[in-house]
Amino acid sequence: MSMVLGAQQSAGLGVEVRGFDVDAVTPAEIERLTQTVYRDKVVVLRDQGDITPAQFVRLGRMFGELVSYHEPMYHHPEFEEIFVSSNVPEDGKQIGVPKTGKFWHADYQFMPKPFAFTIFSPKVLPAKNRGTFFINMAQAYEALPDELKDAAAGTRCSHSVRKFFKIRPDDVYRPLGEVIREVEEHTPPVTFPTVMEHPVTGEKILFISEGFTVELHGSDDPDLLDKLFEATGQLDTEFTHPLIHQHGYESGDIVIWDNRTLIHRALHTTTPAATVSHRVTALDDHPLYARAL
């Protein structure tokens, strides 16, 4: 079966693709999928349950240069490009890291080169609460009242991993101050414009997340960052804000999203149900943004 793109899913976010075959896909089809991710933000490849880690890495490379996560404890044992989130030990050994990403963020927003694409493959899905929350930060910017748009213009924000850096097994018994110093040295905060223009679509994106954005510079209002978090739904603990999309997974899905425009948040079960996912992350040939606003 050849690749078929569905219509944008009205209930949620993204375009469904059936008949995708990683061994048969053409460069033209990858280009079409790439443009669809930029435009529609989420592409769901159905029925990919049999994909091997080697095929998954190959798929990722079709979208751009893959970047391995900076902390090796997240790496797949054979393919360091694959980031593993898992609470299921294999042969008694922890593989990857459990309970990742349960906070609003864009992947690698705290690094000098945040990713263009996140390619996510849930491997073991819990029976309930299987999915990811997304907020489209171009939509969120458009929905801001004019006074917040004006207040954000020309400001910049710093982003850091410090609030969500996970203590590694080797950190046990280390002084916390030493660990904190090391985190600040290895991953110092990065600063980007608060509002930026998407290099492909031209959309205006509010590039902030409650998990990683730690400071806003260039405003007289010390509460501006919190006001922007509030207005974009990131402080809603019930997840009913109209900008929050809950994207559900089916077994075998691979989901590709535009990491410039979307922030996301993992939806982990409150009960300890088994959950395993793989992801790869890719850069494209465009700068992070075309211009600052």
Closest separation between CB of residue 107 and Fe ion, Å? 5
R_g of the chain, CA atoms, integer Å: 19
**Residue 117 and residue 286 in contact, taking contact as beta carbons nearer than 8 Å:** no
Please name which of 192, 215, 214 lies closest in space to residue 205, comparing C-alpha atoms. Answer: 192
Closest separation between CB of residue 269 and Fe ion, Å? 17
| Structure tokens given for 155 | 């400001």
Tell me whether residue 155 or residue 259 sits nearer to Fe ion (CB atom): 259
Residues that bind Fe ion (CB under 5 A): 101, 107
| Structure tokens given for 36 | 């669809």
Closest separation between CB of residue 264 and Fe ion, Å? 6
Tell me whether residue 107 or residue 203 sits nearer to Fe ion (CB atom): 107
With a CB cutoff of 8 Å and minimum separation 6, the contacts of 243 are 135, 136, 139, 140, 143, 232, 233
Tell me whether residue 228 or residue 280 sits nearer to Fe ion (CB atom): 280
Closest separation between CB of residue 109 and Fe ion, Å? 9
Tell me whether residue 69 or residue 289 sits nearer to Fe ion (CB atom): 69
Tell me whether residue 107 or residue 284 sits nearer to Fe ion (CB atom): 107
Closest separation between CB of residue 246 and Fe ion, Å? 15
Closest separation between CB of residue 278 and Fe ion, Å? 13
Tell me whether residue 97 or residue 138 sits nearer to Fe ion (CB atom): 97
Tell me whether residue 45 or residue 161 sits nearer to Fe ion (CB atom): 161
Q: Which H, E and C letters describe the chain, residue by residue?
A: CCCEEEEECCCCCCEEEECCCCCCCCHHHHHHHHHHHHHHCEEEECCCCCCCHHHHHHHHHHHCEECCCCCHHHECCCCCCCEEEECCCECCECCCECCCCCCCECCCCCCCCCCCEEEEEEEECCCCCCEEEEEEHHHHHHHCCHHHHHHHCCCEEEECCCCCCCCCHHHCCCCHHHHHHHHHHHCCCEEEECEEECCCCCCEEECCCCCCEEEEECCCCCCHHHHHHHHCCCCCCCCCCCCEEEEECCCCCEEEEECCCEEEEECCCCCCCCCEEEEEEEECCCCCCCCEC
Q: Which residue is nearest to Fe ion (CB)?
A: 101
Tell me whether residue 101 or residue 131 sits nearer to Fe ion (CB atom): 101
